[in-house]
Amino acid sequence: MGGSRWVEVAALADLPPGKVARAEVAGRVLALVNMDGVVHAVDAVCPHQGGPLEQGTLWQGKLQCPWHFFLFDLATGSNCYPANVYPDDMPQLREQLAPLRVFPVRIEDGRVLVQVEE
């Protein structure tokens, strides 16, 4: 049975508020985001069509994919747009709204650590 471990992915000094950066850990590419002083780590591949979220921008407190402007809540990974505009009677569209995987983050001695599975 696999456990988890904490892995250093960045120096906090290299991730100022408002910055989105790329990190590679345990075979995954992550987007690290400092949103108003709170650091988040999410999968860097947009579940819509594979856009590079580490190249995304922050918009109204959400991470925006650079390809089709899908918006994701960094705390939960849930899709905020276009989920809020897709009609309820078109479930085939909702299939595109898979959430991002969110990884636990902690800060120790100026280092950003992410919890990953072994």
In the chain, domain spans: 13-101
Helical H segments across 11-62, by residue range: none
pLDDT tens, N- to C-terminus, the chain (118 residues): 568 999 999 999 999 999 999 999 989 999 999 999 999 999 999 999 999 999 999 999 999 999 999 999 999 999 999 878 877 777 777 777 889 999 999 999 999 999 998 7
CA distances from 86 to 13, 73, 80, 95 (A): 39, 17, 11, 11
Max CA-CA distance within the chain? 50
Helix (H) or strand (E) holding 43: strand 38-43
Other Cβ atoms closer than 10 A to 37 = 9
114, 12 Cβ separation under 8 angstroms: no
Superfamily of the domain at 13-101: Rieske [2Fe-2S] iron-sulphur domain (2.102.10.10)
pLDDT at 87: 75
29, 54 Cβ separation under 8 angstroms: yes
φ, ψ dihedrals at 10, nearest 5°: -170, 165
pLDDT at 57: 96
pLDDT at 1: 54
